[in-house]
Amino acid sequence: MSIATLSIILLVLLFAFLGSGLWVAFSLLGVGIAAMALFSDAPLGLVMATTLWGHSNSWALAALPLFIWMGEILFRSRLSEDMFTGLSPWMNRLPGQLLHVNVFACGIFAAVSGSSAATAATIGKLSIPELSRRGYPEKMIIGTLAGSATLGLLIPPSIILIVYGVATEQSIARLFVAGVLPGLLLVGLFVGYVAIWALLNRASLPTEDIRASFAEKLRRSRRLVPVILLIVGVIGSIYAGIASPTDAAAVGVVLALLLSWREGTLTRASFVDGLMGATVTSCMIAFILAGASFLTVAMGFTGIPRVLAEWIGSLGLSTFTLLAALTVFFVIMGCFLDGISVVVLTASVIMPMVMQAGIDPLWFGIFLVIVVEMSQITPPVGFNLFVLQSLTGRDILRVAHAALPFFFLMIVALVIIVVFPGIVTYLPNQM
C-alpha cells in the first residue's frame, strides 16, 4: 500500500473517532494502534507500554500541574479586582481610556495563569460589568478581552509551551524566555489598535473625568506589587538559571498560596477546589500527551513523517511559502480542536518538515503558539469565544466578529517575527 493511501486511511479514521465524540486521547491511541497493527510488524503491546511510560515519566512534565495549580489559586483570589484598581488610574489619559485595562490586565494575568480561557474568564467577570456600566462600546469590550486573553498561551509560564517542549524535546526554559518579547509585541499591537480606534471614534466613548494625583495612583498601584513580584520571581529565576521551570513552578504555587492567604481568599473550600481543578486539567493534558506520544512512535514505524518531509523538501518551497501554508493549516485545525490537541496531533508530522526546511524549532514553537492563539478566537471551537459568550450572553458569531480585528493583529505579529526572527531568539541566546 502506498504512503498516500495509508495517510488517507489514518486521517479518515482519526476524524471518524473525533467526530463520534471519542476523547482526543483515545482517538490518538486508536489511530496509533490501527497504524501499528495493520501496517507494521513491530510488537504493539511492548511498544505501547514503553512509550506511554517513557513519556509520562518526565521531570519536565512535572511543571505542568504546578503551573496549572498556581493559576487555579490566583483564579480564586481577588487578583482581577486588584489589577483593575491598580491599573485604571494610569489609563484615563490614554486614547481608549479604560479599554486598555483589559489588555494590560490580561497580559499580567497571563503571566501567572498560563491559560487563555482562565484569563478571559477571570478578567472578564470584573471588567465586562464595570466597563458596560461606564458606557464603553460592547463590541470593543468583548474584542479587547477575546484578543488579549490569548496572551495566556504565549506569555510564560505557558501551558501550551510546556506541551510543545515535551512533545518536541525542546528546552522549556528557553521556550518560556522566547515567549516574552513576542508577548510584549502583541500587547503593544493591541494597545496601538485600541488607541487608533479611540481617536477615530471619540463619540463612541464615554467621557471619563477621574482625576487622581500621582501619589494616589501609586497608592492604588500598591495592590499590583505582590503579583508583579510573583511574576518576576517565577520568570526571573528561570531566566537567571537559578531554577528550572519545575522548581520555579513549585515556588510559584507556594507564593500564590501565601498571596491568597494574605488577601483572605484562601479557605479550605477554595484550596480543595483549586487543587481538584488543577488535577482534572493536568490529567486531561497528560492523557492527551501520552496518546500523542504513542501516535508519534506509530507514525515513525509507518514511515509517513519521513516520506512527507522528503516530499515537502522535493517541492522546493521557500521558507515563507511553507510557513504561510502551515499557518492556514493550523488555523483550520484550530477551528475544530483546542490548542493543546492541535500541537500534540501535528508534532510528529510537522516537525520533520520544519527541520527539513532549516527552521529553528525553538522559533517555530513561538510561531505555532501565536497561530494557535488565533484559533482561540475563530468559530466554531474558539475557547475564548465560548467563555465570553457565557459571560455576555451574546451569540458566538457576534463575539467572533468583535474579536476579528485582533485576529488580524496576530497575523501582523506573525509577519513581524518572520521578518525579524531575533525578536524570538534574542533572549534565549542570552541565557
Instruction: 395-403: list long-range contacts, CB under 8 Å, 24+ apart.
Output: 399/142, 399/146, 401/139, 402/138, 402/139, 402/140, 402/142, 402/143, 402/146, 403/142, 403/143, 403/146, 403/147, 403/377
The range of the structural domain enclosing residue 292 comes to: 3-429
Asked if the model's pLDDT at residue 273 lies above 80, the reply is yes
**Cell numbers of 241, please?**
538559571
Task: Name the band, by pLDDT with cuts 50, 70 and 90, for residue 196.
Answer: very high
C-alpha neighbours within 13 Å on the C-beta side of residue 111:
23
Give the pLDDT mean for 137-149.
88
Residue 313 confidence class, pLDDT cut points 50, 70, 90: low
More confident: 198 or 217? 198
395 burial level (CB within 10 Å; 0-12, 13-18, 19+): exposed
Per the CB < 8 A criterion, the answer to whether 99 and 194 are in contact is yes
Phi, psi (deg, nearest 5) at residue 421: -65, -20
Using CA atoms, how far apart are residues 191 and 196, in angstroms rounded to an integer?
9
Least trusted range by pLDDT, from 133-147, 306-320, 359-373, 402-416: 306-320
Residues 6+ apart with CB under 8 A from 153: 110, 115, 116, 159, 160, 161, 339, 369, 372, 373, 376
pLDDT at 186: 92
Hey, what's the cell of 4?
498516500
- Encode pLDDT of 360-406 as tens digits: 999 999 999 898 888 778 776 666 777 788 778 787 788 888 888 99
Mean pLDDT along residues 258-275: 86
pLDDT value, residue 309: 62
pLDDT at 418: 92
CB-CB contact of 33 with 49 (8 Å): no
409 pLDDT higher than 90: yes
Whole-number Å distance between alpha carbons of 54 and 57: 5
Task: Average the pLDDT over 163-175 and give the result.
Answer: 85
pLDDT of residue 208: 63
Q: Is the dihedral of CA 401, 384, 366, 315 positive or negative?
A: negative
Q: Would the pLDDT of 25 be above 90?
A: no
The two counts, helices (H) then strands (E), for the chain are 22, 0
Q: Which residue has the higher pLDDT, 228 or 115?
A: 228
pLDDT at 346 over 80: no
* Degrees to nearest 5, angle at CA 280 with 334 and 341: 20
Give the pLDDT of residue 423.
Answer: 93
Report residue 322's pLDDT band, with 50, 70 and 90 as the boundaries. confident
C-alpha cell at 409: 493583529
pLDDT at res. 211: 64
182 versus 59: which is more confidently predicted? Answer: 182
Residue 17 CA to residue 33 CA, distance in Å, equals 13
pLDDT at 422: 92
Q: How far apart are CA 305 and CA 107, in angstroms?
A: 37
Q: Is 428 helix (H, G, I), strand (E, B) or coil?
A: helix
DSSP H helices in 114-137: 116-134
The percent of residues above 90 in pLDDT, for the chain, comes to 10
Selection from 119-133, 267-281, 305-319 with the highest mean pLDDT: 267-281
Quote the pLDDT of residue 192. 92
pLDDT at 223: 72
CA distance linking residue 162 with residue 407, whole number of Å: 24
At 362 the pLDDT is: 92
Distance in angstroms (rounded) separating the CA atoms of residues 256 and 80: 14
Which stretch, 24-33, 184-193, 283-292, 308-317, has highest mean pLDDT? 184-193
- Under the banding of pLDDT at 50, 70 and 90, the label for residue 414 is very high
With a cut of 80, say whether residue 168 has pLDDT above it. Answer: yes
- Determine the Cα–Cα distance for residues 62 and 45; give it in Å rounded to an integer: 26
The pLDDT-based confidence of 315 (bands split at 50, 70, 90) is: confident
pLDDT value at 425 more than 70: yes
Cβ atoms 131, 99 nearer than 8 A: yes
More confident residue, 394 or 426: 426
Residue 348: closest CA among 304, 314, 389? 304
For the chain, give the percent of residues with pLDDT over 70: 91
Domain total for the chain? 1
Q: Which residue has the higher pLDDT, 154 or 379?
A: 154
| Gap between the Cα atoms of 412 and 188, Å rounded | 12
Name the residue with cell 509507518.
302
CA–CA separation, 427 vs 217, rounded Å?
32
Interval 324-337 mean pLDDT? 78
Chain mean pLDDT for the chain: 81
201 close to 56: Cβ distance less than 8 angstroms: no
